[in-house]
Amino acid sequence: MDEWLLLKHNIRNLFFNQRLTRFSYFVGLIFLFIEIYFGNLINLLGIIGSLKFNFNETFQEYFDDVIFSSNYKIDEPMFIIITIIFNVIGAYVLSELVKRRLNDYSNTRIGQYIQCCILAFNIGILCYWGYNQSFDHINISITFNLYSYFFYEHILSLLLVLLPSNKKENIHGLSNGNQKSDDYIIFFEPFYSPSKTTEKEDYWDAIGLSHSIDSFKAMFINKLFDYRTRAKRQELYWGVVMFQILTNALNSVLFFFYENIFNIETAIVASIIIYWIFWLWYMLANISCTVRRLHDTGLSGYWLVTLFIPFINIYTLYMTVFKPSIHSVDLNPINA
């Protein structure tokens, strides 16, 4: 019952007219940018035919009989439907991010007005694109122009990061990322705690870089099999980033070492073995850190199972990747 009440509470908060700080806005927009363009790319490949990859001359002698190809192909009506649905959802999410970023800057309703303008304009662009298509022929040139427009729209939206955040309480929520929820105010812990050497949060603290090594050690060494405590977002974010940097660098060094001592075949086999060792290490660390991250947002670790359930896993990913650490919940003094 507690899980069900918390689920309803968090879903309801998704629709609140919240504020969005600069760094959270930047991360959210980058995630949206990647999702939209990878989705559009896959969709475009489906209409123009299969994707094939040929090795260059350097590796051709080692992969003479290997051909990478994909037979993924969709028909024209399905392409039109997918393009419209995918980009309408993307336009709504972008407009929501813009609205919340402007909410964090201003105490007015300007964010809602701009959101309506973005949605109307994007839907109009999609209608114009659809008008120039047919169910038996897709105009690739106009489609490419449509994708180009969305690309520049996302780049332009990044400029909103430069807007200062409103430090005072306003109609869109409380300062420092706190928010109102009915008769309660939920207080979240800071995104990153300040460095020990400074009394206040500096730029490197704000983006979490000063905690990257500590996050890596906690996620991949100290708490590798810890399924009982909690983990902040910084541990998950920077732990994964540092793991990728360190393991890729180490694998390249070891490959060079094996190639010079033995031969290319031995180096390839050794690299594959090392890759699977790293992959197992990575999976174990991710499972335990995800469970601790769920604990940190107020959910049970058993929600990890829902990552394999379509649509429900979207909510679980939101809680895992974006939901801040809950610090306390107090009655709203205005309504109390």
The lowest-confidence range among 6-20, 70-84, 86-100 is 6-20
Q: Which two tokens stand for residue 7?
A: 């689920």
**pLDDT, tens only, 129-157:** 999 988 888 888 899 899 999 999 999 99
Q: What is the pLDDT of residue 93?
A: 92
In whole numbers, what is the pLDDT of the chain averaged over residues? 81
pLDDT at residue 89, rounded to an integer:
92
Strand, helix or coil at 296?
helix
pTM for the model stands at: 0.65
**Residue type for position 25:** Y
Smallest CA-to-CA distance from 233 within 299, 176, 189, 278 is with 189
Radius of gyration of the chain (CA): 24
Mean pLDDT of 250-267: 75
Confidence of residue 128 (pLDDT cuts 50, 70, 90): very high
- 32 and 155 in contact (C-beta within 8 Å)? no
Which among 297, 310, 148 has a CA at the least distance from the CA of 236?
297
Residue 221 DSSP class: I
> pLDDT digit string (tens) for 282-314?
999 999 999 999 998 888 889 999 988 888 888
Which of 108-112, 276-280, 308-312 bottoms out in mean pLDDT, i.e. has the lowest? 308-312
Three-state SS string across 142-203, please?
Answer: HHHHHHHHHHHHHHHHHHHHHCCCCCCCECCECCCCCEEECCEEEEECCCCCCCCCCCCCCH
- Scanning the chain, the segments in alpha helix (DSSP H) are 2-13, 22-48, 57-60, 76-103, 110-131, 140-157, 203-207, 212-217, 233-261, 264-296, 312-321
Long-range contacts of 316-323 (CB under 8 A, 24+ apart): 318/14, 319/10, 319/294, 320/236, 320/290, 320/293, 320/294, 321/233, 321/236, 322/24, 322/27, 322/28, 322/233, 323/10, 323/297
Q: How many residues does the chain have?
A: 336
Position 201 pLDDT exceeds 90: no
In this prediction, residues 21-41 reach a mean pLDDT of 87
Calculate mean pLDDT across residues 90-116.
92
Q: In whole angstroms, give the CA distance from residue 183 to residue 333.
A: 9
Collapsed DSSP state (helix, strand, coil) of residue 283: helix
- Position of tokens 């080692």? 62
Question: What secondary structure does DSSP assign to 235-248, as a single string?
Answer: HHHHHHHHHHHHHH
Nearest to 104, CA basis, from 162, 164, 27, 30: 164
Q: Name which of 35, 100, 19 is nearest 314 in CA terms.
A: 35
Predicted confidence at residue 152, as pLDDT, reads 92
Q: What pLDDT does residue 290 have?
A: 93
The mean per-residue pLDDT over the stretch 193-209 comes to: 55
Q: pLDDT > 70: what percent of the chain?
A: 81
- 43-50 own/partner pairs: CB under 8 Å, 24+ apart: 43/74, 43/79, 43/82, 43/83, 43/86, 44/143, 44/147, 45/70, 45/72, 46/72, 46/73, 46/74, 46/79, 47/73, 47/74, 47/76, 47/79, 47/138, 47/140, 48/140, 49/73
How confident is the model at residue 140, as a pLDDT?
85
Domains of the chain by residue range: 19-169
For residue 68, give the H/E element and its range: strand 68-70
Residue 336's pLDDT is 44
Please state the φ and ψ torsions of residue 30, each to the nearest 5 degrees.
Answer: -65, -45
Question: What gap in Å lies between CA 312 and CA 198, rounded to an integer?
Answer: 41
Q: Which of 58-72, 237-251, 276-290 has the lowest mean pLDDT?
A: 58-72
Weakest-pLDDT range from 48-57, 193-202, 257-266, 310-319: 193-202
pLDDT at residue 31, as a whole number? 86
With a cut of 60, say whether residue 75 has pLDDT above it. yes
